[in-house]
């Protein structure tokens, strides 16, 4: 009998994340991305691997920044993106043998390759200035000293001039281009001071549909996107969606007969609190119709994880045009579904406790590649036999509406099996909770400590997710497993405001943070205290990031239930964040005011600012923040730290230079390790007494 060891913090450096899985046209092979950590260089590297049923996976490319594998429809080539030439360019690898050759050589780099159905062209996006396509070249050393030493100066003229995870915008825009694969020059299909993306071919290979916000005041309505069409030779752009702002479009996909365009749409008027739904556009009439069959769940992957594998997956039509395949998030799970293109009926394809983060289908839709996470594995690759369904089985003790589903799944790549099979990884238990009569039920999960012993009471940490329109679920969460390895029970939940429980469940907290959501997270932890005898009611901690950090700040400003708290990249002052957050100005409509700076308009923002309750905070608080955070700027953490330190309250401030908002997921590896150590050390100091 083998004794399992506890998870170590530096195991994070050994975990490989697999995803963006692409199945070959004949269904025999799956190309996928593996992301690994180079701990010596403190960076990530990606390569393309190949898997077959019954065979060991093999590494297929030797680069360290290879991604976006895409099969040609005729099966002759694998296109991929790599930086081998110094910038991201598209290369072609002949599958009959031979060396990879560079296809694009465009200054500024390019990506997002999409094959035309006839395998003769590739559409892609390139970051271009007004000069258009220029040849790839290394920048010459600047001789003019003034230009050399002032090129880092930012001169801002736009209201939308920065974006977290991207940085500060330059004069480049994402443009859609196309290029023949057997020779010929690339053609720039779009232009102007707008960003264009998500190209998808028409079935006759004659043109491309894509999404873009080409409004004159685009920066003032940043979440608006229309669907457009352009010929592969270029020319006039034809807007397909009405352009009235009622829907913002994404992921367009043209039906096999070319008459319809399926797309994911959101209503900008929901201010990010609505659902992403499936729609179809009739190209002849311009009519747009919802196609979600009354399903009150979002299309796409809303499951939050700090170990998310490379995403991937396009809306896919069955060859007869009867079905559209897509992802749906439902009560902590993410599944592949198919939607009837005539009736809108939604049929689950996959089932069980999993979070599908990437998928692709063969042209006949009889086989699929799936990449998904479970609570004890961050990303594995499966071959799914869609024509061999399993018997239906409803999920028990769960708020899911997509019950049933399930197809034969054959594991073809489990990159972390050898590591994770050595480690004691507790399996979370789902429970239901409610804040009281008239309040909806929602899902919570509890994770026992590693090495759990019956009859022992354990200190317990309540974790709160960000968004707020995110969703905890059945994916792998390293932070939770790390805390469990340190001897903590971990509780997490989906309070009102979360995705995966319907439109009203999310909408009800707009401009009302700290009310219904606060009641729910407190109900989650109190339900766990009451139901599980191993939870030590006198040794509770709370932690959360972004909006979850707001909720931590709100909780400790309103009660002393917790013995210690960790607030990460948090919201502290919603009034000041309106002018400092990357798209803060775009939240005005949520609060029903004309602006935020005039005295008569300040009250709604200050009402939801935990800073106003800093005098009532007695809980020892660790404040963690990233200095390059453009979503919740560092000034948020600074304000709370100054307020608590001035009162001589127990507080510590940890700042991570050179990091964006998503550091816990994609930041420098050793910063992520440091962060985990700081969290556990803080809780050890106050919950081990």
Nearby residues of 682 by Cβ (< 8 Å), 6 or more positions away: 564, 566, 620, 622, 652
Locate 130 and state its tokens.
């007004």
18 neighbors 379 (Cβ within 8 angstroms): yes
- What's the CA gap between 496 and 504, in Å, rounded? 9
pLDDT-based confidence at 244, cuts 50/70/90?
confident
**How many percent of the chain have pLDDT more than 90?**
92
Contact 684, 566 (CB under 8 A): no
> In whole angstroms, how far apart are CA 217 and each of 117, 141, 175, 193?
35, 37, 19, 11
* Rounded Cα–Cα distance for residues 44 and 13 (Å): 10
Question: For the residues 251-271, what does the mean pLDDT come to?
Answer: 96
**Over the chain, what is the mean pLDDT?**
95
pLDDT tens per residue, range 112-122: 999 999 999 99
- Whether 92 and 103 have beta carbons less than 8 Å apart is answered as yes
Residue 69, preceding bond cis, omega within 30 degrees?
no
End-to-end CA gap in the chain? 35
* pLDDT score at 390: 76
E strand map for 465-585 = 489-493, 535-545, 564-568
Q: Is 154 exposed, middle or buried (0-12, 13-18, 19+ CB in 10 A)?
A: exposed
Residue 457 lies in a domain: yes
Residue 217 within a domain: no
Tokens for 457, please give them: 């009471």
Q: Lowest-pLDDT range, 34-43, 266-275, 564-573, 626-635?
A: 266-275
Instruction: Indicate which CATH number applies to the domain containing 638.
Output: 3.40.50.1820
450 pLDDT higher than 50: yes
Assess if residue 167 is contained within a domain.
no
* Span 570-609, pLDDT tens digits: 999 999 999 999 989 999 999 999 999 999 999 999 999 9
State the pairing for strand pair 429-433/277-282: unpaired
**Residue 517 covered by a domain:** yes
Q: Give the number of other Cβ atoms within 10 Å of residue 62's Cβ.
A: 11
Active site residue ranges = 546, 661
What is the average per-residue pLDDT within 33-50?
98
Position 391 scores a pLDDT of 65
Stretch (H or E) spanning 368:
strand 367-374
pLDDT tops 60 at residue 76:
yes
Which of these ranges, 218-227, 426-435, 646-655, has the smallest mean pLDDT? 218-227
Site of tokens 């004659």: 206
- Say if 5 falls within a structural domain: no
- Give the tens place of pLDDT for each residue, 339-390: 999 999 999 999 999 999 999 999 999 999 999 999 999 999 999 999 987 7
The reply to whether 638 falls in a domain is yes
Model confidence pLDDT, tens digit, residues 486-504: 999 999 999 999 999 999 9
Residues 552 and 538: their CA atoms lie apart, in Å, by 18
How many residues in total does the chain contain?
689
- Percent of the chain whose pLDDT exceeds 70: 98
CA distances from 321 to 201, 240, 350, 466 (A): 16, 20, 21, 38
Both tokens assigned to 87: 């910038």
Residue 169 CA to residue 150 CA, distance in Å, equals 17
User: In the chain, how many domains are there?
Assistant: 1
* Cα pseudo-dihedral 406, 309, 28, 101, rounded to 10: 160
Structural domain contains residue 472: yes
Distances (CA, A) of 167 to 44, 148, 160, 529: 19, 21, 11, 43
What is the model's pLDDT at position 178? 98
Residue 239 CA to residue 230 CA, distance in Å, equals: 9
Query: Residue 479 and residue 665: Cα distance in Å, rounded?
Result: 10
Give the model confidence (pLDDT) of 391-443 as tens digits.
Answer: 655 455 567 788 778 899 999 999 999 999 999 999 999 999 999 999 999 99
Q: How far apart are CA 388 and CA 684, in angstroms?
A: 50
| Dist CA 409 CA 530 (whole Å) | 38
Which of 558 and 268 is assigned the larger pLDDT?
A: 558
Domain that holds residue 483: 426-573+609-687
pLDDT digits (tens, 9 = 90+) for 157-195: 999 999 999 999 999 999 999 999 998 999 999 999 999
3-state secondary structure at position 11: helix
Q: Is 451 domain-assigned?
A: yes
Q: What is the pLDDT of residue 2?
A: 64
């Amino acid at each position: 009998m083998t004794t399992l060891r506890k998870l170590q913090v530096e195991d994070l450096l050994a975990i490989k994340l697999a995803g963006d899985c692409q199945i070959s046209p004949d269904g025999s092979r799956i190309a996928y991305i593996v992301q690994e950590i180079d701990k010596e260089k403190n960076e990530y590297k990606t390569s393309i691997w190949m898997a077959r049923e019954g065979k060991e996976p093999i590494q297929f490319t030797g680069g360290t920044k290879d991604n976006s594998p895409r099969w040609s429809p005729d099966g002759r080539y694998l296109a991929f993106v790599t930086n081998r030439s110094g910038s991201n360019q598209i290369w072609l690898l002949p599958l009959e043998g031979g060396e990879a050759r560079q296809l694009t050589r465009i200054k500024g780099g390019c990506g997002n390759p999409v094959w035309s159905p006839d395998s003769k062209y590739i559409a892609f996006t390139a970051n271009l200035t007004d000069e258009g396509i220029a040849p790839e070249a290394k920048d010459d050393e600047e001789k003019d000293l003034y230009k050399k030493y002032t090129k880092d100066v930012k001169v801002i003229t736009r209201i939308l001039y920065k974006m977290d995870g991207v940085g500060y915008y330059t004069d480049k825009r994402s443009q859609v281009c196309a290029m023949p694969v057997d020779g010929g020059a690339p053609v720039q299909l779009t232009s102007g001071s707008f960003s264009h993306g998500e190209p998808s071919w028409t079935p006759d290979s004659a043109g491309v549909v894509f999404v873009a916000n080409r409004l004159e005041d685009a920066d003032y309505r940043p979440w608006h996107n229309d669907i457009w069409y352009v010929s592969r030779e270029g020319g006039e752009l034809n807007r397909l969606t009405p352009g009235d702002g009622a829907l913002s479009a994404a992921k367009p996909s043209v039906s096999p007969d070319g008459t319809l365009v399926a797309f994911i749409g959101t209503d900008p008027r929901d201010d990010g609190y609505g659902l992403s739904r499936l729609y179809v556009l009739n190209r002849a009439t311009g009519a747009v119709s919802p196609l979600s069959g009354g399903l009150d769940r979002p299309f796409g992957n809303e499951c939050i994880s700090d170990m998310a594998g490379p995403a991937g997956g396009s809306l896919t039509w069955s060859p007869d045009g009867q079905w559209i395949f897509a992802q749906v998030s439902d009560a902590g799970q993410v599944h592949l579904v198919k939607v009837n293109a005539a009736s809108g009926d939604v049929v689950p394809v996959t089932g069980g406790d999993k979070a599908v983060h990437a998928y692709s289908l063969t042209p006949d839709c009889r086989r699929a590649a799936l990449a998904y996470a479970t609570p004890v594995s961050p990303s594995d690759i499966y071959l799914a036999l869609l024509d061999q369904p399993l018997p239906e089985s409803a999920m028990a003790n769960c708020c899911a509406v997509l019950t049933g589903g399930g197809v034969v799944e054959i594991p073809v790549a489990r990159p972390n099996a050898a590591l994770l099979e050595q480690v004691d990884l507790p399996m979370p238990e789902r429970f239901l909770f409610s804040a009281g009569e008239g309040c909806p039920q929602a899902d919570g999960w509890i994770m026992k400590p590693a090495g759990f012993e019956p009859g022992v009471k354990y200190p317990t940490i309540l974790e709160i997710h960000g968004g707020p329109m995110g969703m905890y679920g059945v994916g792998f969460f390293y932070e939770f497993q790390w805390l469990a390895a340190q001897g903590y029970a971990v509780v997490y939940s989906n309070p009102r405001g979360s995705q995966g429980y319907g439109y009203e469940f999310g909408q009800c907290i707009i401009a009302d943070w700290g009310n219904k959501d606060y009641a729910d997270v407190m109900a989650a932890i109190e339900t766990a205290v009451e139901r599980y005898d191993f939870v030590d009611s006198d040794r509770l901690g709370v932690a959360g990031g972004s909006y979850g950090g707001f909720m931590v700040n709100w909780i400790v400003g309103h009660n002393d239930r917790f013995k210690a708290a960790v607030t990460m990249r948090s919201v502290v002052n919603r009034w000041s964040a309106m002018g400092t957050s990357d798209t803060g100005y775009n939240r005005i409509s949520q609060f029903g005011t004309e602006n935020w700076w005039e005295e008569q308009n300040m009250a709604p923002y200050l009402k939801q600012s935990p800073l106003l309750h800093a005098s009532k905070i007695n809980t020892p608080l660790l404040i963690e923040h990233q200095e390059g955070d453009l979503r919740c700027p560092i000034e948020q953490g600074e304000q709370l730290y100054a307020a608590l330190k001035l009162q001589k309250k127990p507080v510590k401030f940890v700042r991570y230079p050179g990091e964006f908002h998503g550091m816990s997921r994609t930041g420098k590896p050793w910063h992520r390790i440091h962060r985990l150590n700081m969290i556990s050390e803080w809780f050890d100091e106050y919950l081990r007494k």
